[in-house]
Amino acid sequence: MKLAHLQILDSLKNRRTLLAILKDGSIHYTLFTGWANYGTGCSLDDLRVGIDHNSQLPLDNSMELTVQEWKDHLIDIINNDSVYSVDRVVPNKITFK
C-alpha cells in the first residue's frame, strides 16, 4: 500500500521523489532523483532529516494515526526538519472518468 508519494525540492530546486510504502507490515522508503519513475536512487541520508529538531522518518504508526494524518506528519518532518520541502503530493488513488 502506498502511504505517501512526495515530490520534493532542495534549496537549489533539485527535484527528488520520496515514496513511503507499507509492505508486509513494515514501512519502506525510496528516494530517487527527478519526478519521473526512473530516477537514480539516492540515500535517505541525503534528506538530512533531523537537521534542526532531531526528528526521524516514522518507521511505524505508534501514534495510531490515520493514513492521512500519518502522511501529514511525514510532510511536516520533511518541510520543517530536513533540507528539502514538499512541492507536490501525488494522490494515492488516481481515478479516470
pLDDT tens, residue by residue, 26-78: 999 999 998 876 788 889 999 999 988 889 999 988 889 999 999 999 999 99
> Which residue segment(s) compose the domain that 38 sits in?
2-89
Answer yes or no: is 94 within a domain. no
Answer yes or no: is 53 within a domain. yes
Pick from 44-48, 61-65, 80-84, 93-97: least confident: 93-97
Answer yes or no: is 52 within a domain. yes
pTM of this structure? 0.88
- Residue 4 CA to its chain's centroid (Å): 6
**42: Cβ contacts below 8 Å, ≥ 6 apart:** 16, 31, 32, 33
Burial per residue of 49-86, b for 16 or more beta-carbon CB atoms within 10 angstroms, e otherwise: beeeeebebbeeeeeeeeeeebbebbbebbeebbbbeb
pLDDT for res 89: 94
Answer yes or no: is 63 within a domain. yes
Answer yes or no: is 96 within a domain. no
For the chain, the domain total comes to: 1
Confidence of residue 88 (pLDDT cuts 50, 70, 90): very high
Answer yes or no: is 67 within a domain. yes
C-alpha cell at 28: 519502506
Answer yes or no: is 95 within a domain. no
